[in-house]
Amino acid sequence: MDGAALDYRIRMALAIDERNVRQAACPHCGQPLEHVTGFVKNGAAAYAVYFASCHVEPSREAAIDVVLGTWGTVPAIDDHLTFSCRLRAAGAMAEDAPLATSSDSTMLGHCLSRADALAHPLRQEFWAVIDLLAEADPTIKSCVYKT
């Protein structure tokens, strides 16, 4: 890991703040899934919102949308970006956004394509949130890693 990457990881103090889990059916295959909506803080500050559709059967994967931007300002700042990925035990793969929630939500802001997400300057922040969710969200962790 180079010095810049190490410095970046030290500066991040991410934690899941609030989360809600509901039972749903996959709109594509009809299989039951758990849908998680949650918030991430960086220290004491609001940092991101995430949505995850956790498919246990047959794929054991979580389709995850992460919305990064400015939160809690009045007037609201419209700088939200949505990154998406599929998380499996073998790793995560960026996808076109959104995957886990409706594209009708104005909160999502600009939904990034896979190519745009991989080239975006905030991609490291996105992957840091995905790392946190894989380790600390019990629904996502249980779905993907059979814990």
pLDDT tens, position by position, for the chain (147 residues)? 344 554 454 456 899 999 999 998 877 778 888 999 999 999 888 899 999 999 877 788 999 999 999 888 766 678 999 999 999 999 999 999 999 987 667 889 999 999 999 999 999 999 999 999 999 999 999 999 986
For residue 30, give its domain range: 3-145
pLDDT confidence of residue 20: 96
Structural domain total, the chain: 1
User: Who contacts 133 (Cβ-Cβ below 8 Å, separation ≥6)?
Assistant: 16, 38, 50, 52, 62, 64, 87, 140
pLDDT at site 9? 47
pTM for the model stands at 0.88
**Lookup result for tokens 């509901």:** 22
